[in-house]
Amino acid sequence: MENGRASGIDGLPAEFYKAFWAVIGQDVLDVLRGSIRGDDLVVMINTQEDVNVLAAILNDFQILSSAKVNWTKSEAILVGEWGGGQPTLPGGLAWKRGGFKYLGVYLGTNEFLNKNWEGSVEHVKGRLSRWKRVVPKMSYRGRTLVINNLAASSLWHKLACVDPPPNLLANIQAQLVDFFWDGLHWIPQRFSTCRKRKEGRGWSSF
């Protein structure tokens, strides 16, 4: 492994993949196939040569599959300083800075990351408010289903990808607790969020 060659963008040299291909090869191929089938592919480049190679690969792919890249729906993010000039992109694609939205999540600078959480508390509060009139008639199981399936579920994907700002989860949790108990908090929150087999109510805890 220590042949002096530079590592890839994942921090691992090509020799690593050659040495352990029997172990990780199928996983790598599965990820690649999944990315292509999912129609959302992220590519990282460092030089103009990378751009040229990518363009050639996409051209071959178009010939073989009769499918092509929609450049008007593509984005290119420039990261860091480029003293030697920015690589020229194909298809009239232009470089952007800051970040981009990928699979529903804003990625990039702190300013872009904060967009993920704009209006999150209000969104949860709005969903719960639709059920406010019937809460007194709902069972605790019904309230748990509303919390887990209609309110908390809207946040799990983003929470799995990026970290939330301070106090956000505490504010959301307060909304969930208030809804569950209809404003009357009978027992400590930690018991409500326990799994049902541990005598809890089993609703989402942030």
Q: Where are the chain's structural domains?
A: 14-109, 115-198
Residue 150 DSSP class:
I
Tokens of 187: 């027992």
Q: What is the pLDDT of residues 66-125, one digit of tens each?
A: 888 888 888 888 888 877 788 888 888 888 888 888 888 898 888 889 999 999 999 999
Label residue 151 exposed, middle or buried (CB < 10 Å: 0-12, 13-18, 19+). Answer: buried
pLDDT for 117 = 93
pLDDT for 199 = 47
**Minimum mean pLDDT range among 81-85, 115-119, 186-190, 198-202:** 198-202
pTM: predicted TM-score of the whole model, two decimal places: 0.60
How far is residue 51's CA from residue 84's CA, in Å, rounded to a whole number? 15
Q: Using N-to-C axis directions, what is the helix angle for 153-161 and 120-129, rounded to 10°?
A: 160
Label residue 176 exposed, middle or buried (CB < 10 Å: 0-12, 13-18, 19+). Answer: buried
Q: What is the pLDDT of residues 121-160, one digit of tens each?
A: 999 999 898 888 888 888 888 888 888 888 888 888 898 8
Q: Which of 152, 144, 104 is nearest to 127 (CA)?
A: 152
